[in-house]
Amino acid sequence: MNAYDALIVGGGPGGLQAALSLGRARKQVLLCDAGPRRNAMARGIHNFVTRDGTPPDEFRRVGRAQLATYPDVHVRETGVAAILGERGAFRATLADGTVVDAKRVLLTTGMIDEELPIPGFREQWGRSIFQCPYCHGWEVQDRPWGFLVTPQSLPHAVPFALQARGWTADLTVFLHGLVLPADALARLAAAAIRVEPAVVARIGPHTLELADGRAIPCDALFAHPPQHQTPLVTALDLALEDGLVKIDSMRRETSVPGIYAAGDLTTRMQGAILAAASAAHAAAMLNVDLAMELGAPEAPHAAR
Shortest CB 199 distance to ligand FAD, Å = 24
In the complex, the residues that contact ligand FAD under the rule CB under 6 A are 9-15, 32-39, 41-42, 45-48, 79-80, 108-110, 113, 126, 131-132, 135, 230, 232, 263-264, 270-273, 275
Contact 125, 151 (CB under 8 A): no
CA 135 and chain centroid, separation: 13
Shortest CB 111 distance to ligand FAD, Å = 7
Shortest CB 260 distance to ligand FAD, Å = 13
Nearer to ligand FAD, 114 or 212 (CB): 114
Nearer to ligand FAD, 131 or 153 (CB): 131
How far apart are the C-alpha atoms of 90 and 83, rounded to whole Å?
7
Shortest CB 102 distance to ligand FAD, Å = 13
Nearer to ligand FAD, 193 or 272 (CB): 272
How far apart are the C-alpha atoms of 275 and 201, rounded to whole Å?
34
Listed residue (260, 257, 258) closest to 245, CA to CA? 260
Nearer to ligand FAD, 45 or 67 (CB): 45
Shortest CB 95 distance to ligand FAD, Å = 7
Nearer to ligand FAD, 185 or 280 (CB): 280
Contact 9, 107 (CB under 8 A): yes
Listed residue (56, 59, 31, 33) closest to 43, CA to CA? 56
Backbone angles phi, psi at 181, to 5 degrees: -65, 160
